[in-house]
Structure 1
Amino acid sequence: MQVNGDIVYISVMAIDPSKMTRKLVSLTHEMVEAISEYRFAEKIGTESEAIRRLIQKGLEEAGKKD
């Protein structure tokens, strides 16, 4: 991860690149810190994997509200 001012660049490393799409998102410093805390609390190997899991959890939760 690279921080440049208010923009955070996140690299996605994938086992199968044909099934992955790269996205560039801007995150607040608070969100970056929360992701880092989640990653280490859950013992997740990479920041990218932690972000994928958080997104998946959010999508699953959003689906329950429909």
Structure 2
Amino acid sequence: MHPDKAGTAPEQMSERVPFQASKEFLERVDDWSFENRVRSRAEAIRRLVAKGLQIAQAEG
């Protein structure tokens, strides 16, 4: 496995999590993805969820 930009090995992707979202939500994800040079919507969602979890954990 190749390390990601943070220098850690990426996790093995083995689970699917289908969900529905509004057009507006996906537009916001796509805008964030473009601004942060993330190539796929799935990767953008993974990164945004990871950021949210880090913030929630830090807040206790």
Q: TM-score, normalised by structure 1?
A: 0.67
Gaps of 5+ in 2: 1-9
Match of 2:31 among 31, 37, 53: 37
Q: Distance in 2 between matches of 1:30 and 1:64?
A: 28
Residue pairs, 1:26-65, within 5 angstroms: 26-65=20-59
Q: 1:13-54 deviations in whole A, cap 9, x for unaligned?
A: xxx9xx321001111111100000001001111111111100
Paired positions, count: 49
Q: Distance in 2 between matches of 1:31 and 1:44?
A: 16
Higher strand share: 1
Q: Percent identity?
A: 31
Following TM superposition, the consecutive aligned residue runs of length 4 or more in structure 1 with deviations greater than 4 angstroms are none
Structure 1 residue ranges without an equivalent (≥5): 1-15
* Aligned pairs (5 A) from 1:6-45: 19-20=12-13, 21-45=15-39
TM-score, normalisation: structure 2: 0.73
